[in-house]
Amino acid sequence: MQLSGLKKRSKRGIGGLWLVLPQSYQTAVARALSPHVKTFFAGIYKQVEYKHVVKSLPSSICCLTSVEEIIIENYTLTGDIPDVFGALKNLTILRLRSNSLTGALPSSLNLLSALQHLDLANNQLIGDFPALPNLNHLVTLSIGHNYFTGPVPTVFGNPLKLEFLHADHNLFSVLPASICQFTNLLVLHISKNAFSCEIPSGIWNLTAVICLEMSGCNMSGSLTGMGNLGNLQTLDASNNLFSGELPSREILNFQDLEALHLVGNRFSGGEILDMSQRDVKMTMCLDRDYQRTYVVREGFHKCYEEHGVIPYTGDFSGSESEDSEDE
């Protein structure tokens, strides 16, 4: 098999053409190109030419021992992820999002000690997410829109490295108290899971967080303490079972808060949240009756229907006609 031309074009990368080669050729090409290949990329536009081929991720990918990035997204990959990653010591990015991958995750992922970004979102992966104590450099974990169960993953080699955790739209049933160890976390997405538990108080210790989305998780408890998240820009805690007084003073103290979604909870009482004191408007929604009584309307943009409940949009006079015309 003639490899010289392919090798010349692949000093730094190899693409989707390799995936549609016969398996014996895949192995030969991978071994021949291994010292030269730093990036493996295959996207949907590469698949178009070979749309009659539905491929699984071949085990021969382990022969690309020098590869630093594997990016295969929107490629209709099917089947399990092979348990062959132990040889890929240089891999820093593994992105297999938006395919049709199934099964549980292979244990060899824990051998990717250089890995910084792991993206498996939008697949059909199942089972408990494994502990990954050897991943000391992980910055991004994106596993949303799968069928993972058990606790949200929190076992990594260096929790201080993690900045982005997207675990929304899964079947996770436990939000561990150890979530509080990610003190440099910037984004936490855990919406649409089946926690059915009280929110861990340690979540308010994630002081670096700028975006916290945890809607539709059947979580209960109080939001008192949210004021500790001084960098917060977006909070979506809608459609849960949160109760007690709304921490109005903490909300007013946020300097950068742009979106606050709290509709579909069980708040009661508390101080009036006078949003007219804010210099910059933000998007906000609460349940109609609570908003009518405890929130001054001016100072925020209304959030219509985003969470399945249309909040009260009038003022204290009870008239909504002028407000509706403005929209």
CB atoms within 10 A of CB 298: 12
d(CA 251, CA 111): 43
Number of CB atoms found within 10 A of residue 256's CB:
12
Do the beta carbons of residue 222 and residue 244 sit within 8 Å? yes
Please give the angle made by the CA atoms of 100, 162 and 34, to the nearest 5 degrees: 55
Confidence of residue 13 (pLDDT cuts 50, 70, 90): low
Find out whether 72 and 98 touch, Cβ atoms under 8 Å.
Answer: no
Q: Which of 54-68, 178-192, 310-324 has the highest mean pLDDT?
A: 178-192
For the chain, the maximum distance between any two Cα atoms, rounded to a whole number of angstroms, is: 81
Q: Do 167 and 144 touch, CB atoms closer than 8 A?
A: yes
Q: What is the average pLDDT value for the chain, to the nearest integer?
A: 83
Helix (H) or strand (E) holding 292: helix 288-294
Pairwise CA distance, residues 102 & 110, whole Å: 19
**DSSP 8-state secondary structure symbol assigned to residue 302:** E
Tell which wins on pLDDT, 62 or 322: 62
Write down the pTM of the prediction.
Answer: 0.86
> Distance (Å, rounded) from C-alpha 272 to C-alpha 269?
9
132 or 291: which leads in pLDDT: 132
Give per-residue pLDDT as tens, 293-308. 888 765 556 665 565 5
